[in-house]
Amino acid sequence: MLNFFKIYDIILPEIYIISLEVVFVMNITVMGTGRWGSFIAWYLNKIGHNVISWGRSDSPDFICLRDERKNDLLEFDDKIKITDDLGYAVSSSQIIVISISSQNLRDFMKSLSSYDLSQKIIVLCMKGIEETTCKRLSEVVEEFVSENTKIAIWVGPGHVQDYTRGIPNCMVIDCKDKSVIHKLIGEFSSDLIRFYVGNDLIGNEIGAAAKNVIGIAAGMLDGIGYTSLKGALMSRATREISRLIEAMGGNAISAYSLSHLGDYQATLFSEHSHNRKFGEMLILGKQYTKLAEGVSTTNAIIKLGKKYNVELPICNAVYQVINEGQDARKTLSNLFLRSIKQEF
């Protein structure tokens, strides 16, 4: 039986029939040429879409892809168009995927909103909370677009290094508009990534951002030789973040979903995790130069905890070590080995 997707009022330039399935080839622009942005462009091209990869003209990542069509993780197919022309990148696609530093999103949206974004779908493939306002990233984007621009998030576990080796994983797409979720899942799914339907935008955004803070805590435990405490960290951190999600109006169970607990292996244990590595290097007194989104998110999470009157002992411990120079061994030992209390 043919598997027909619903046809929306969007550009559908080509239709192929492959393996008895109707596949709509979409025009998609991926904004950002870093580790994750380059992978998304690579992946969407791999599953058959027309892809434009946009980056800043002065970005080393962009220059590398433009000149060599590859980076240290992957190689671009000849079909992927690479540009630094923002107007062309926006006008050429109905779906715009953004994968940049979360703290740069507001400034980027100021530039992006000067172009016509009506009837487009913006997909945020990034994890964080705006440090200055404590807003979720979808809330930041909402300030710059009208109601006829749909905003979705694409979050969950996985590393580029694994995906490009053909190792599959599961992720989640969420949006206020349920029809957009099903549309994107229909267009983005493959044997490499299985997408689940999100049903809690607040919980999935907070959960995805907060797992980076817990990743830093895991790295700190590695740094002081307390790796065995990661089990306790996973158990207590999930409960901690569930309380925050619930206080903010989300579903507490979302802390146990793909966006948070489901991403722990990739963030708390993997050598590829920037946040885990940052925490480890901090304890060892070594400089870590790559982006660790969890640092800014830690500051925002602490503010949210105060705003919603939620106790966040693990996040607070990470904050104290990073910003107040507290001794990590003492702080983390006191955190997990403190006085008797009920587990639930």
Residue 283 sits at φ, ψ, to 5 deg, of -65, -35
For the chain, the straight-line distance linking the first and the last C-alpha, in angstroms and rounded, comes to 49
Lookup: tokens for 268: 């708390």
Long-range pairs of 320-326 with CB within 8 A, sequence gap ≥ 24: 321/220, 321/282, 322/216, 322/282, 322/295, 322/298, 323/298, 323/299
**Residue 70 is among the residues annotated as catalytic for this protein:** no
Residue 119, by phi and psi: left (phi above 0), alpha (psi -120 to 50) or beta? left
Burial letters 289-301, b for 16+ CB under 10 A, else e: eebbbbbbbbbbb
Catalytic residue among 211, 286, 306, 330: 211
Half-sphere exposure in the Cβ direction for 154 (13 Å, CA) = 26
Lookup: tokens for 248: 């903010």
Residues in the chain: 344
Catalytically active residues are: 211
